[in-house]
Amino acid sequence: MTQVREVAEDDDMTAPPRPEKVPTQPSRRNTHDNLMDTTNRLQKHHSENNNPFKKAATSQDDMDVLRRPSDKVSEGTELRLYRQIEELREQLRAEQQKTKAAEHQRTGDEESMKSGFEELVNNNELLVKTVDKLEKESKRLKEELEDARTHIFALQPYRKDLTPEEVGRDYDDLVNSVSDWVDKLMSPALDDEDAPAELTRIARKSPGEISWLKRNMQKHGDLVQGSMFAETDIDIGIAIIMRYLYDNIFQKILYDTVSSQVNVLTFVEGSMQTNVEPKRDLFAIRTWSAEAYNAILCSPQFRQERERRMRNLTLELAGGFRVFHRDDDWNSFCVNFQDSCIKPAMKLYEKLLVSTHHFYLDINPYIILSNGQLEQSIQFLDELPNLACENILQARKKFNLAKLDPKPTKKDLYENLTNVVTTVPALYMRQVGRGDTIREPTIVRKQQMLVAWGPPEKKEKFMHNDEGLMNIILFTRTKDREKERGVEASVWQAPWKLG
């Protein structure tokens, strides 16, 4: 018991005062009652101390019970109880520490969340300010860029330098598109054995249906000449369309749709050449004109006029070939013709119009029809090296005068070379340089022609082969009138008159 007291005294807790009189010989009943009472109080104390969130401490009565010498409790029991109390204290302290740590963590989390929310709000406000600043900066830079672009345009006039190779490819595409369309249109009629008779009937009973084709062929002596040869119907069809495009698109400034604007531009160009001091050279004038025409091409007013003109050209030209169209879908026929012929021609023309260098088409059939006589220009023989000729008597083999062996004399050419028909105009370029320099025209694409090179008897046989469809259109009524008069028709057999 003395050792237990000493252990208890070593503890930080204050021991209760000892009783003055301790019964030395308690009865067995009293000892048992005291023990039971102590046990109950310890259990109650243990139950209360098991709650980690309730502060508890050993009561003074409990300590008195532990120190009562009158209780005859064994030293082992007293030590065990003491250890249990210490364990409870340790558990209490541990739970209190956990509680404090949890409280501290909760407080820290709350502060962290509050700080994060405040930071998010601040960042959002900063982001809004940054976006506003960037939008203002972007607007300012766009304005500066537009000003710089305008300044650059003012210093550097509009120029569109096209190369001969590029323009040549575009021209080839146009010619091929027209050729394909004519071939698809006329091939079924050429393969139909009843087509000549039907076309003859139309020429006699409904001449209005072929009047446009007939009128356009009669205007050009080489088309009349070409209709006398067999297997030239498609070539004549191509020639008619290309000549129509040449006359109504490539030879008309802006298709004659905005004549007042064109007159103003022409006046300004003339004034720049003669009245302005210092006078503008041709390069500057050409550059200015290209920019001015480009502005007109981009205007809504001209676009409307272009659409109207495109529609009228389509209806007129497609209507001329309607005799070969056997489908009832007239609208699709016109749309297809416009996309294949009219629209590509306009696109190429407008591209050439805004070019610094001068690209243009030109055609010289070297044949005219005068007073019922076909006259061939003597220039034809001189210009042969600049012409792309195909020999109709040799399956359209290219005719190259330089490769003929032996080289024919001019007399041989007069007697054996016949100009049949011109199918495609030539494409030229005049390069405009600095100052007033304008170079001589260069050929970008040669004029395409059909010729007949061979002995007269072979040409005669080829000319009196089966009549072509174009020959029927052109000469049916003439032949009928000649028969009524009792004379042999001679229009398509007129002799050459060289001049």
Spatial distance between the Cα atoms of 363 and 260, rounded to a whole number of angstroms: 28
Per-residue pLDDT tens over the stretch 327-359: 778 999 999 999 999 999 999 999 999 998 899
pLDDT at position 156 is: 54
What Rg value do the Cα atoms of the chain yield, rounded?
57
Structure tokens at 428: 């030229």
pLDDT at position 392 is: 92
| Strand bridging mode 387-391 / 447-453 | parallel
Spatial distance between the Cα atoms of 389 and 448, rounded to a whole number of angstroms: 6
Length of the chain equals 499
Query: What 8-state DSSP symbol labels residue 385?
Result: G
Helix (H) or strand (E) holding 359: strand 358-362
Spatial distance between the Cα atoms of 193 and 293, rounded to a whole number of angstroms: 51
Instruction: Return the number of other C-beta atoms located less than 10 Å from residue 398's C-beta.
Output: 10
Contact 181, 242 (CB under 8 A): no
Tell me which residue has tokens 């009669």.
218
Helix (H) or strand (E) holding 495: none
Query: What 8-state DSSP symbol labels residue 69?
Result: T
Sign of CA dihedral 119, 122, 125, 127: negative
Tell me which residue has tokens 């005291």.
34
Query: What 8-state DSSP symbol labels residue 255?
Result: G
What SS3 class is residue 440? coil
Spatial distance between the Cα atoms of 213 and 473, rounded to a whole number of angstroms: 8
Q: Which residues of the chain have pLDDT under 70?
A: 1-73, 149-160, 434-438, 464-467, 482-499
pLDDT at position 42 is: 54
Chain CA centroid to CA 173, Å: 20
- Cis bond upstream, residue 278 (ω within 30): yes
pLDDT at position 41 is: 62
Q: Left, alpha or beta for 137 (phi > 0: left; psi -120 to 50: alpha)?
A: alpha
Spatial distance between the Cα atoms of 231 and 462, rounded to a whole number of angstroms: 9
pLDDT at position 284 is: 81
pLDDT at position 26 is: 45
Structure tokens at 240: 């008619």
Spatial distance between the Cα atoms of 313 and 91, rounded to a whole number of angstroms: 107
What SS3 class is residue 71? coil
What SS3 class is residue 229? coil
Spatial distance between the Cα atoms of 252 and 310, rounded to a whole number of angstroms: 13
Q: Is 90 exposed, middle or buried (0-12, 13-18, 19+ CB in 10 A)?
A: exposed
